[in-house]
Amino acid sequence: MEPSDGPSLRAVLFDRDGTLIRDVPYNGDPGRVRPMPQARAVLKRLRFCGMATGVVSNQSGLGRGLLTYEQVGAVNARVEQLLGPFNVWEICPHSPEDGCRCRKPAPELISRACRRLGISPAEAAYVGDIGSDVEAARAAGVRGVMVPTPLTLPAEVEAAPEVAADLRSAIDLLLPAPSRRNIP
């Protein structure tokens, strides 16, 4: 999208597990947090360009009683230690059986992140690794980019409007060409 085509991008939101950090199911141990390849560089680049960054994540381990809020908070703090500060965090603490309105693929977490950042959905993008991520982006009215992992289902990749091989390629899709020059 060229800047003259509509609102310019002001924020990039990310799924946490499988996108920014290695997916360790129901991880409550900050010592097990490992960034995905390119995550640090991509976030540095976005921040250099003046983009707000955020994390939007389902954390069903809370609703299932497998994790405490303190454990999730400690893991999130470790993510920030390794990858730098995020402007916004939105977490769904419910299990899939709860029928909440915030769990992705519902749009509420992404919509709430945009409201907290003071931007319209047209000014945000969301990067995730599974179908519910891009479905949530579409439902919230933000641009969605999938970065598949070996766990991503082929049908999810096929259904995604935009797919990138890795985080760097995802950001290349989102940033206009002039914004990509001379950036770390």
CATH number of the structural domain spanning residue 163: 3.40.50.1000
Q: What is the pLDDT of residues 41-79, one digit of tens each?
A: 999 999 999 999 999 999 999 999 999 999 999 999 999
Residue 32 falls within a domain, yes or no? yes
d(CA 155, CA 175): 27
Q: Is the pLDDT of residue 83 over 50?
A: yes
Q: Please, which pLDDT band fits residue 37 given cuts at 50, 70 and 90?
A: very high
Q: Is the pLDDT of residue 121 over 80?
A: yes
pLDDT score recorded for residue 183: 52
The encoded tokens of residue 167 equal 């985080």
Residue 153 falls within a domain, yes or no? no
Specify whether the CB–CB gap between 19 and 128 falls below 8 A: yes
pLDDT score recorded for residue 89: 98
Name the residue type at position 116. R
Residue 86 falls within a domain, yes or no? yes
Q: How many domains does the chain have?
A: 1
CB 6: neighbour CB atoms within 10 A?
Answer: 11
pLDDT score recorded for residue 178: 55
Specify whether the CB–CB gap between 132 and 19 falls below 8 A: no
Q: Is the pLDDT of residue 180 over 90?
A: no
Residue 113 falls within a domain, yes or no? yes
Residue 41 falls within a domain, yes or no? yes
Residue 1 falls within a domain, yes or no? no
User: Whole-prediction pTM value?
Assistant: 0.92
CA angle 7, 171, 142 (to 5 degrees): 40
User: How are strands ordered across the β-sheet holding 143-146?
Assistant: 88-92, 52-58, 11-14, 124-128, 143-146
Residue 77 falls within a domain, yes or no? yes
Largest CA distance in the chain: 48
pLDDT score recorded for residue 1: 37
Instruction: Please state, in angstroms and as integers, the Cα–Cα distance from residue 14 to each residue in 68, 90, 91, 145, 170, following that order.
Output: 22, 10, 12, 10, 11
Residue 141 falls within a domain, yes or no? yes
Q: What residue numbers bound the domain in which 25 lies?
A: 6-128+135-148+158-180
